[in-house]
Amino acid sequence: MNSRIPGHSPAARPRISPVRRLRLRPVIAIGGGLAVAAAVTATAGAMAQAAASPPTTTIRFVSVTKAATKIPFGIIEADIDKNGAGKVVGADSLICRGTSPSKPPKCAVSVDLANGDLFFAVTGTQSGTTGRLVGGTGAYAKHSGTVTATQLSPTRTRVVIKLRK
């Protein structure tokens, strides 16, 4: 029997429709999925950042002068490069300008190694040179880096090259 008071509507109990229930579950699942995706992205980002900063490769050798010619504006030199055990690992040549006592020399240096060639622009000092990599071939293509050379004797120079890809 349905007893209804005229002008009064019975209090309806709020109901959640089945459609609404179905919509809530995917939202919760998507929210949880976004949290997992954010965690994976953060981890992948940290790994990519570690991979983005490649390690520095260091090449060390002693350059031994085999021929040097003084010219009016500088010097041209050809050297062989030996590793710590005395084995020949390459050769280098350089052309320097401005070898007067008042101006430090500016040099273009080419280093020929087994994996490719390196080209540097360097500035000389009394005890050696420092410079930057301006190009490379073979395994050294698209690298950046620096070179430091320290004079050991009139014919021997310690060379340290630091490369980054």
- Span 73-127, pLDDT tens digits: 888 999 999 999 999 999 999 998 886 667 788 999 999 999 999 999 999 876 6
The SS3 call for residue 106 is strand
How far apart, in whole angstroms, are the C-alpha atoms of residue 124 and residue 122? 7
Q: Select from 83, 80, 76, 82 the least CA-distant residue to 91.
A: 80
Is residue 33 domain-shared with residue 87, that is, in the same domain? no
The answer to whether residues 120 and 102 touch, using CB atoms and an 8 Å cutoff, is: no
Q: Model pTM?
A: 0.65
User: pLDDT at position 10, please?
Assistant: 56
Is residue 95 domain-shared with residue 122, that is, in the same domain? yes
pLDDT by residue (tens digit) across 36-82? 444 444 444 445 555 556 688 999 999 999 999 998 888 899 999 99
Whole-number Cα distances in Å, 65 to 11, 30, 155: 103, 69, 5
Is residue 156 domain-shared with residue 116, that is, in the same domain? yes
User: pLDDT at position 139, please?
Assistant: 92
Q: Is 3 a domain residue? A: no
Is residue 48 domain-shared with residue 81, that is, in the same domain? no
* Contacting residues for 117 by C-beta, under 8 A, at least 6 apart: 110, 111, 136, 137, 138, 140
Is residue 63 domain-shared with residue 107, that is, in the same domain? yes
Is residue 63 domain-shared with residue 41, that is, in the same domain? no
Q: What is the CATH number of the domain that holds 128?
A: 2.40.480.10
Q: Is 8 a domain residue? A: no
Rounded mean pLDDT, 15-39:
46
Range of the domain at 148: 57-164
Rounded mean pLDDT, 135-146:
93
Is residue 38 domain-shared with residue 65, that is, in the same domain? no
Total number of domains constituting the chain: 2
Is residue 110 domain-shared with residue 82, that is, in the same domain? yes
Considering only 26-30, 51-55, 149-153, which range has the smallest mean pLDDT? 26-30
Instruction: Report the chain's terminal Cα–Cα distance, integer Å.
Output: 87
